[in-house]
Structure 1
Amino acid sequence: MDFRDLPIKRKLAGAIMLTSLTVLALTSLALITYELYAYKQTTRRTLSTIADIIASNSTAVLIYDDHKLASQILAGLHDEPEIEAAALYDKDGQLYVSYPLSLGPTGVPATPGVDGIDFGLRQITLFEPVIEGQNRVGTLYLRGDLADMYRRLGVYGLVLLSVLGCSGLVALSLAAYFQRLISQPILNLANTARIVSERKDYSVRAVKLSNDELGGFTETFNSMLHQVQESHSALRESEERLSAVFQQAGAGIAQTDVSGRFLMVNDRYCEIVGRPRESLLQLRMQDIIHPADLSHHQFLSEHSARDGSSFVVETRYDRPQGGFVWVRNSVAFIRDAAGTIESAIAVTEDITSSKRTEKELERARDDALAASRAKDDFLATLSHELRTPLNPVLLLASEAAEDPTLPPAVRSDFATIRNNVELEARLIDDLLDLTRITRGKLLLDLKPHDMHAILQDALATVRAELERKQIVTTLKFDAGRAVVLSDAVRLQQVFWNVLKNAVKFTPEQGGITVHTHLAVGDSLVVEITDTGIGLEPAEIERIFDAFSQGDHAGTAGSHRFGGVGLGLAISRMLVELHRGSIRAESPGRGHGATFRIELPLLRRDVAAPRMPAADGPPARAAAAAGSAVPETMRRRILLVEDHAPTRTTLQQLLMRRRYEVLAAGTVAEARAIAAKESFDFVISDIGLPDGNAYELMSDLRAEKGLTGIALTGYGMESDIARSHAAGFVVHLTKPLRVQSLDEALARISGATPA
């Protein structure tokens, strides 16, 4: 087993033993080395001393060649047991004598070697010169035995081994003791960590055995366990709360991996999708999404996963028992520490009832739109059907009322007919205007207009009634500026409604005052005051309500002054569309009334327009002049009208004005006539039995370059816009006075070359 893998107890014991034995071994080696060195030095000195003595005593022997004495000198080495052999060589290097004699000449070198001492493995040799004066007379050879050195080294070795053994035992005892002091706290920490890891019990604590670094480490370890225990407890509580919220949440919650497989779902999610939890955890989200919605859901998932953004999608889940449930999924992605998406969380809301309500609302909206279209169609048809019968009556009555060849009494009768027909047409217009305004379909043609000029025009429309009742009219135009961004026709309608009421409720020889002045805030104020029957406070509160009339109307259907109570209601709506206001004031019954109309003035940096003069005799003269067509300039007219009385009346009136007229009652008849004849322009009703005049006019304009006059009971803004787009220059709404027809003829005659 690798040392690193040994238990810490054995590591500590082994480390202590190894350290101790290594130190002892190194010490013993040092001692033996020193002993060997000392022995060599001693042996060197001993041999050198003996050699010096023998060499000194052998000088004469060698000089005088005395073998016997030489042998006796060397025999003296018998007392030196460490000398194993010796020899003398003459000056020529020949062996002279050797010791011991039993050794023989082969026991020593035949010739002397190099001077000096040489330590061998088992012996030591010495060659020393024998000197007499300055001359070398021979060489001494000594050889010592090193067995004694090895004996001494053996003894030392045994002693050291004994010391090592005893030291090892002592070191082992000390290692066991110290490893317990050192390793026990570590082992306690390891055992505590193992228990915590296995049991997940963070309340376990390690026992502190000392106050050294290991004791401090134990305290730190226990403190860490305490923090982990608190964090674990808080985490467990948080998980319990989260689990409770997760399971009891009102919305369905599901977690899936990156492949869409369910990892976790709450009870509400199972309830929404109609599947048990065990079944869902075996499926992927793709498995329960309605096939028609799957591609869209996958596209959103893949697109959002690329940048990690969340998304919301409405989709359908198939239920195993059949059918599906509509849900709104709010999906967010969860990333790991490396930033890689590892799962997704879907918060699911059942929106089936909302979808059902949405469908019902869509159906209700479609029904309402259909009803609105039906109402529009009904109003248009009603307007057309109510206006059409009045048209020939008003045409004939308005022409006869102005015919100077007729007796005054007859003209007066025709004027009465004309006025009542116009009143009936006005009532129809009021009903349509009220409907268009309340439904937001009334479009205003806003341009700068001088309100003084419009007031003059409105007064001109009631002048005949003023003169008949001998009512005194006072004009006080004190406003220095009177230009308002407005629809002139609609504001004239407002002023006419107020003036008409003033005339209606003012007795003969009464008075009406029209006063204009500027108010704070850069507004124009128009006050119309009469000396009529006045208003009670209760009447003032409801006077601008639709179909509301004053107390003068009485009961049981009494209508002393006539009307249905729409004029002022429409007037208020029109004024408010101009960002203005209108209100009524009266001191009481019998003291007259004042109507105050306030309108925002145009900015000073916008120039006031030049207003054309009101239609008076000059304008009517121009219209009359336009209607008198010279014989050489007679125009050909294609008249298309399905209402026979109106067609006959128009044909007669046009022929009196020296127009050549060919009439048709249907689109097919008109196309047949137009294919054979040439015309200068067309006068046509819009609603025809076999089609409409829009297509007819558009085709005639494209094929023959014709323009025309639309003469119809359809008077909505959309009808007028559509007729202009088809090629009609003028759009006249039935019933119409002959004067309006003359003006239209004059206009189209000027627009088409003769």
Structure 2
Amino acid sequence: MSVHARVSSYMRFQDIPIRRKLMTMLLLTSGAVVLLTCASYLGYELVTFRRTSVQQLDTLGEIIASNSTAALAFDAPDDAQQILSALAADRQIVAAVLYRADGTVFALFPADLSASDYPLHPGPSGHNFEHNGLAAFHTVTRDGKPLGTLYLRTSGNALFERLRLFGGFLIVVIAAAGALVFVLSRSLQRQISGPILALAGTARAMAESQDYAGRATKLGNDEIGVLTDAFNAMVGRLANANHDLELRVRDRTAALEEANHELEAFSYSVSHDLRAPLRHIGGFATMLRQHTEPVLDEKGRRFITVIQQSTARMAQLIDDLLAFSKHGRAELQHEPVDLADLIEQIKVGFQGELEDRHVEWNVAPLPTVRGDTSLLRQVFTNLLGNAVKYTRRQPIARIEIGTVTPPNGEAVVFVRDNGAGFDMQYVDKLFGVFQRLHHDTEFEGTGVGLATVRRIVQRHGGRVWAEGQPGVGAVFYVALPTNIPSTAPLS
């Protein structure tokens, strides 16, 4: 799939979250602004309405009080009742009471007003808001002399009606604002999220395909356009670096293949050209011993013995070197390997050389791993062989094979012994070819066994390390990954 096809697929299926986020942010922001504006306008309307209602009721009260002075002065309830009846023109007035100076009721509006709908006694001049409307008391005076008190109460329906109208208006405004924001957000998505998504899609497509030939399309000269230019420049440098790396890898691979061919030629030479002279030296040394045995003194026989031993050691070094080289070139055969069964098979192979020794084996339950059975057999044969060899001088040799659980999920198997051990300051030399920490006169060996162990384990994608203490013993750890990758032969 091309880079452009991958970008289109990415934008089609992966851009939903960012578009939803952008639209949600715009809707929330606009909604918050609309709600805050409406709340402010509602507060202003409430304050203004209350103030206007008070002013209107005060004005109306002053008019009615002024017109009622004559009725109170001449004790004419009918005239007062007629004056209050004029309030029927104002539908917001629900109750009106005219009190005498002694506080008794003089006239009512409406005429059938219930006693529970108005105060039994007049209060001081002023107004107050009640749950069912606005109420006010006005003192009726003539020439500065109080004649009575007027009580007026308006209905709260006007406020409720105003709030209902305002709520409907608010719903219309919010719906219109939401529709407008939706349209604007769709446009902004094309201008803002579109270029970002295109750039992200190009980056992901290049990362998945490892194809750096494509470039992100520049959709404008704004900040996103600058980002696109920078991205394309970075991709260009990355493509050049990748091309240079491929050339270097190709050259190194060619050099490595040439070195492998030279190593194979060297191995062939070692196998055929060096073995023949060694066989001749060993054979003639044996014939010389047989021919001169009666006439040689002890010193001469020792010389011939040294020649034979050195020849045998040289042959062993050649065999170990060839085996070491073979383990680096052989193709891995991955299959399930039961380590418990493998260890038991290896232990059987050591029974012959352990007949006269007291060895205590402690083998814990071991896991099944994936790897090359023959190569892993060589790993644990070398490790157990070292444990058997370096515990030779112990009256009771103790060899333990178990597992530990590391945090990264590897399968880690250890081989612990109570043998000669080693000094940790030389641990870096332990796994080197022909590197030995003990002299041949103490323990035989060529110094290739542990190097072979490390090479095989590394080819399985694992690790190997050791801990030790002189005279106390050593422990060797082999860490194998749970999913072992296939690897090319090592040189």
TM-score range, shorter chain: 0.5 to 0.7
Where does structure 1 lack aligned partners over 5 or more consecutive residues? 253-266, 317-323, 335-341, 346-754
Partner-residue secondary structure (3-state), 2:120: coil
Pick one of 6, 13, 18 that aligns with 2:28. 18
Cα separation, 2, equivalents of 1:188 and 1:34: 48
Letter in 2 for 1:276: A
- Contact kept, 8 Å, 1:304 with 1:311, in 2: the verdict is no
Following TM superposition, by how much is the alpha carbon of 1:189 offset from its aligned partner in structure 2, in angstroms? 1.8
Pick one of 221, 230, 237 that aligns with 2:231. 221
Following TM superposition, by how much is the alpha carbon of 1:178 offset from its aligned partner in structure 2, in angstroms? 0.9
Higher relative contact order (CA 8 A, sep 6+): 2
The aligned counterpart of 1:314 is 434
Where does structure 2 lack aligned partners over 5 or more consecutive residues? 1-14, 265-320, 334-370, 391-414, 437-444, 456-461, 466-491
Specify whether residues 292 and 85 from structure 1 end up closer, same or farther in structure 2 by C-alpha distance, changes over 3 A only. Answer: closer
The aligned counterpart of 1:277 is 331
Cα distance per residue 1:669-698 (max 9 Å; x no partner): xxxxxxxxxxxxxxxxxxxxxxxxxxxxxx
The aligned counterpart of 1:7 is 17
Matched, 1:148 2:152: no
Cα separation, 2, equivalents of 1:57 and 1:182: 72
Matched, 1:58 2:68: yes
Specify whether residues 233 and 275 from structure 1 end up closer, same or farther in structure 2 by C-alpha distance, changes over 3 A only. Answer: closer
The aligned counterpart of 1:103 is 113
Cα separation, 2, equivalents of 1:47 and 1:94: 23
- Contact kept, 8 Å, 1:251 with 1:269, in 2: the verdict is no
Cα distance per residue 1:216-253 (max 9 Å; x no partner): 1222222232333333334444444444555534569x
Following TM superposition, by how much is the alpha carbon of 1:6 offset from its aligned partner in structure 2, in angstroms? 6.3
Cα separation, 2, equivalents of 1:62 and 1:306: 124
Q: Which stretch of the first structure deviates more once superposed, 45-54 or 237-246?
A: 237-246
The aligned counterpart of 1:713 is none
Cα separation, 2, equivalents of 1:308 and 1:146: 95
Structure with higher helix content: 2
Following TM superposition, by how much is the alpha carbon of 1:195 offset from its aligned partner in structure 2, in angstroms? 1.2
Cα separation, 1, equivalents of 2:23 and 2:329: 65
Partner-residue secondary structure (3-state), 1:141: strand
The aligned counterpart of 2:395 is none
Following TM superposition, by how much is the alpha carbon of 1:132 offset from its aligned partner in structure 2, in angstroms? 4.5
The aligned counterpart of 1:583 is none
Specify whether residues 86 and 272 from structure 1 end up closer, same or farther in structure 2 by C-alpha distance, changes over 3 A only. Answer: same
Cα separation, 2, equivalents of 1:300 and 1:133: 130
Cα distance per residue 1:77-132 (max 9 Å; x no partner): 22222212100123333322210102243332222345422233442211223344
- Contact kept, 8 Å, 2:429 with 2:435, in 1: the verdict is no
Letter in 1 for 2:52: T
- Contact kept, 8 Å, 1:16 with 1:171, in 2: the verdict is yes
Matches within 5 A, 1:177-326: 177-246=187-256, 248-249=259-260, 271-273=325-327, 276-278=330-332, 281-282=372-373, 283-284=375-376, 286-287=379-380, 289=382, 312-314=432-434
Cα separation, 2, equivalents of 1:278 and 1:108: 105
The aligned counterpart of 1:30 is 40
Letter in 1 for 2:434: E
Cα distance per residue 1:133-162 (max 9 Å; x no partner): 555443211011232343344334333432
Letter in 2 for 1:128: H
The aligned counterpart of 1:117 is 127
Following TM superposition, by how much is the alpha carbon of 1:65 offset from its aligned partner in structure 2, in angstroms? 3.0
Specify whether residues 232 and 310 from structure 1 end up closer, same or farther in structure 2 by C-alpha distance, changes over 3 A only. Answer: farther
Partner-residue secondary structure (3-state), 2:116: helix
Partner-residue secondary structure (3-state), 1:86: strand
Specify whether residues 281 and 197 from structure 1 end up closer, same or farther in structure 2 by C-alpha distance, changes over 3 A only. Answer: farther
Matches within 5 A, 1:586-605: none
Matches within 5 A, 1:393-412: none
Cα distance per residue 1:421-470 (max 9 Å; x no partner): xxxxxxxxxxxxxxxxxxxxxxxxxxxxxxxxxxxxxxxxxxxxxxxxxx
Cα separation, 1, equivalents of 2:84 and 2:179: 53
Partner-residue secondary structure (3-state), 2:138: strand
Pick one of 55, 72, 75 that aligns with 2:85. 75
Following TM superposition, by how much is the alpha carbon of 1:17 offset from its aligned partner in structure 2, in angstroms? 2.3
Specify whether residues 232 and 303 from structure 1 end up closer, same or farther in structure 2 by C-alpha distance, changes over 3 A only. Answer: farther
Following TM superposition, by how much is the alpha carbon of 1:70 offset from its aligned partner in structure 2, in angstroms? 1.8
Matches within 5 A, 1:419-434: none
Matches within 5 A, 1:546-565: none
Cα separation, 1, equivalents of 2:105 and 2:48: 33
- Contact kept, 8 Å, 2:84 with 2:109, in 1: the verdict is yes
Letter in 2 for 1:96: F
Q: How many residues align?
A: 314
Cα separation, 2, equivalents of 1:125 and 1:301: 105
RMSD: 4.3
Cα distance per residue 1:320-372 (max 9 Å; x no partner): xxxx98859879x99xxxxxxx8479xxxxxxxxxxxxxxxxxxxxxxxxxxx
The aligned counterpart of 1:743 is none
Letter in 2 for 1:287: F
Cα separation, 2, equivalents of 1:201 and 1:175: 34
Q: Which stretch of the first structure deviates more once superposed, 121-130 or 206-215?
A: 121-130
Matches within 5 A, 1:406-485: none
- Contact kept, 8 Å, 2:432 with 2:447, in 1: the verdict is no
Task: Find the structure with the greater CA-based Rg.
Answer: 1
Specify whether residues 100 and 313 from structure 1 end up closer, same or farther in structure 2 by C-alpha distance, changes over 3 A only. Answer: same
The aligned counterpart of 2:101 is 91
Cα separation, 2, equivalents of 1:82 and 1:48: 14
Specify whether residues 275 and 215 from structure 1 end up closer, same or farther in structure 2 by C-alpha distance, changes over 3 A only. Answer: closer
Cα separation, 2, equivalents of 1:112 and 1:302: 112
Cα distance per residue 1:293-319 (max 9 Å; x no partner): 566799999856897678745279xxx
Cα separation, 2, equivalents of 1:300 and 1:221: 61
Specify whether residues 343 and 326 from structure 1 end up closer, same or farther in structure 2 by C-alpha distance, changes over 3 A only. Answer: closer
Specify whether residues 287 and 135 from structure 1 end up closer, same or farther in structure 2 by C-alpha distance, changes over 3 A only. Answer: same
Specify whether residues 71 and 328 from structure 1 end up closer, same or farther in structure 2 by C-alpha distance, changes over 3 A only. Answer: closer
TM-score by length of 1: 0.36
Partner-residue secondary structure (3-state), 1:38: helix
Letter in 2 for 1:30: S
Partner-residue secondary structure (3-state), 2:127: strand
Cα distance per residue 1:475-524 (max 9 Å; x no partner): xxxxxxxxxxxxxxxxxxxxxxxxxxxxxxxxxxxxxxxxxxxxxxxxxx
Specify whether residues 79 and 307 from structure 1 end up closer, same or farther in structure 2 by C-alpha distance, changes over 3 A only. Answer: farther
Identity over aligned residues, as a percent?
A: 31
Cα separation, 2, equivalents of 1:37 and 1:270: 96
- Contact kept, 8 Å, 1:126 with 1:141, in 2: the verdict is yes
The aligned counterpart of 1:43 is 53
Cα separation, 1, equivalents of 2:383 and 2:43: 95
Cα separation, 2, equivalents of 1:268 and 1:200: 40
- Contact kept, 8 Å, 1:251 with 1:268, in 2: the verdict is no
Letter in 2 for 1:19: T
Cα distance per residue 1:696-752 (max 9 Å; x no partner): xxxxxxxxxxxxxxxxxxxxxxxxxxxxxxxxxxxxxxxxxxxxxxxxxxxxxxxxx
Cα separation, 2, equivalents of 1:22 and 1:149: 25
The aligned counterpart of 1:168 is 178
Specify whether residues 234 and 305 from structure 1 end up closer, same or farther in structure 2 by C-alpha distance, changes over 3 A only. Answer: farther
Specify whether residues 190 and 304 from structure 1 end up closer, same or farther in structure 2 by C-alpha distance, changes over 3 A only. Answer: farther
Q: Which stretch of the first structure deviates more once superposed, 293-302 or 145-154?
A: 293-302
Letter in 1 for 2:96: A
TM-score by length of 2: 0.53
Partner-residue secondary structure (3-state), 2:221: coil
